Amino acid sequence: MKFIYILLFLITSQITCAQTDTASTAPGKLAFSGFADIYYAYDFNKPATHERPGFLYNHNRHNEFNVNLAFLKAAYTSDRVRGNLAVMAGTYAQYNLAAEPDLLRNIFEANAGVRLAPGLWLDAGVFLSHIGLESAISKDNYTLTRSLAAENSPYYESGVKVTYEAGSKWVFTGLVLNGWQNIREPEGNSSKALGTQIQFKPTDKILLNSSTFFGNEKPDNAKQRRYFHNFYATFHLQPQLKLAAFFDIGAEKELEADSYNTWYSPAILLRYDLSDKVAVAARAEYYRDENGVIISSGTPNGFKTTGYSLNLDYAPATNVLLRVEGRLLDSKNALFTRDNRPVDKSTAITSSIAISF
């Protein structure tokens, strides 16, 4: 709770400074918004616990109506100061922030920023991850469910970052973080992580992104340095047709050895607008983590899984989105369970109603 009070103090104190700064004449704006994603997922493996595979953190409750993510947000912006405070609930918070203290599990965003120079911002607090194409907000993604890569890389992070917008085409960001998706430092770990992000938009129809992470996620007495790179690109091929592709690759040093364990994941996504209200989308992906750095399979050959998704969207109003998606996960090993038997496939249908304001 002290963390929230400190951030609120930073935001309000910077607002006061901005309002008394004679060099700033533009008044600040305080905006409120909200989002709710209510879903129903049916896994044909019929897990008795209602929990889908442990490497899925969104829309992961079987055969029950539930809230994946709901949040209320206050955002303050002026020409010198900005800040965000958003509190959340839902199964996303329950599973993604399970390792955080109870009082931090409902924080979606809590950050404050100040403009140091034209185009140059310094922000600190808890903010959305600089890694990946897909975010925790389902309506902003090509498909309803998230890729295996998105589910197993950071959705949020805490620390400080510096962002520089070099004109309309380039954005550069450098970060110092507590670690790989955590607010509280893990016990026994005093390391800080570093991150970078470079975005290049050569035209209004193409976006190229490169994001990196460097850090140690183990206790100080058993350090294993982790290196990770995410690259994605989006293309508006036609007014109705969008294409996206990404490739993630990571390496973590083996304990008491000079070698590294690696994992990687490519994916391609396609979205086509049939009309102003109806759209279809598809995703093909592959995730390989042979040594169980991120996803432990419990099998000798590690985690090697291919996924296919097909999505249908209907937007009856500008702030309402109805979605349904079929998804198949096909593994090289029997990672899943059906009728108390190990199987190598997981098939599910997920539906959602998302409302934003």
Q: Which of these, 37, 22, 25, 251, lies nearest to 146 by C-alpha position?
A: 37
Write out pLDDT tens, residues 87-129: 999 999 999 999 999 999 999 999 999 999 999 999 999 999 9
Domain total in the chain: 1
User: Residue 273 carries which side chain, given as an amino acid letter?
Assistant: D
Give the pLDDT confidence score for residue 26 in this predicted structure. Answer: 63
Q: Which of these, 130, 143, 299, lies nearest to 230 by C-alpha position?
A: 130
Give the pLDDT confidence score for residue 9 in this predicted structure. Answer: 43
Q: How many Å apart are CA 43 and CA 105, to the nearest integer? A: 27
The more confident residue out of 73 and 335 is 73
Residue 24 domain flag: no
Write out pLDDT tens, residues 216-235: 988 988 899 999 999 999 99
Give the pLDDT confidence score for residue 6 in this predicted structure. Answer: 40
Structure tokens at 32: 């409120």
**Which residues lie across from 324 on neighbouring strands?**
312, 351
Give the pLDDT confidence score for residue 258 in this predicted structure. Answer: 84
Indicate the pTM of the whole model: 0.89
Residue 284: CB partners within 8 Å, gap ≥ 6?
267, 268, 306, 307, 308, 309
Give the CATH number, domain containing residue 85. Answer: 2.40.160.10
Residue 4: pLDDT over 90: no
Q: What percent of the chain has pLDDT over 70?
A: 93
Q: Which of these, 115, 116, 149, lies nearest to 133 by C-alpha position?
A: 149
DSSP for 203-239? ETTEEEEEEEEEEE-S-GGG--EEEEEEEEEEEE-SS
Q: Are 162 and 173 in contact (CB under 8 A)?
A: yes
Radius of gyration of the chain (CA): 21
Q: How many Å apart are CA 356 and CA 268, to the nearest integer? A: 27
Q: How many Å apart are CA 255 and CA 224, to the nearest integer? A: 6
Given its phi and psi angles, is residue 7 left (phi above 0), alpha (psi -120 to 50 degrees) or beta? alpha
Domain holding 303, by residue range, is 2-19+29-356
Residue 244 domain flag: yes
Residue 143 domain flag: yes
Write out pLDDT tens, residues 249-273: 999 999 888 899 999 999 999 999 9
